[in-house]
């Protein structure tokens, strides 16, 4: 192991916004760190929040991260969990736009907008008396 192999780091910090989990990803999402970050995000999704917002506050994002985001979105849909991505920094926005995934994945301009998007559940909610 060289220092360049261990120098790549990324972190995930979460906070709850009325049942919607906001996961802020910082650092570099490359092929070395993406598995760790992906595992953390899938673990959070498995806890069954109302919604999951991934804020990509990263300095670098490689193609392996795009794959993880697609899989995470598919799993959220399968689980009936609202999902949105915030990518305002160029390091995240550019790869999403260049790959056209910004047209496929639910994107928001801000965390507040993303929380509203991810929190919406079009399914019939609690109906009193039934």
H-state helical runs in the chain: 3-7, 34-46, 63-79, 90-98, 111-119
Q: Which of 8, 56, 4 is nearest to 35 (CA)?
A: 8
pLDDT of the residue at 9: 86
How many Å from the N-terminal Cα to the C-terminal Cα in the chain? 61
d(CA 116, CA 6): 37
> Rounded distance, CA 75 to CA 77, Å?
5
Q: What is the pLDDT of residue 128?
A: 44
pLDDT mean by block of 10 residues, the chain; 130 residues: 49 94 96 94 96 97 95 96 96 96 95 93 43
């Amino acid at each position: 192991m060289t220092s360049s192999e261990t120098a790549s780091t990324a972190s995930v910090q979460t906070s709850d916004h009325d049942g919607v989990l906001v996961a802020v990803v910082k650092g570099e999402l490359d092929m070395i760190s993406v598995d760790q970050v992906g595992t953390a995000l899938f673990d959070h999704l498995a806890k069954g929040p109302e919604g999951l917002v991934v804020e990509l506050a990263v300095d670098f994002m490689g193609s392996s991260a795009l794959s993880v985001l697609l899989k995470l979105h598919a799993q959220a849909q399968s689980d009936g969990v609202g999902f949105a991505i915030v990518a305002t920094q160029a390091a995240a926005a550019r790869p999403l736009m260049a790959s056209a995934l910004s047209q496929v994945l639910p994107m928001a301009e801000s965390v507040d907008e993303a929380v509203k998007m991810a929190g919406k559940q079009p399914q019939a909610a609690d109906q009193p008396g039934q």
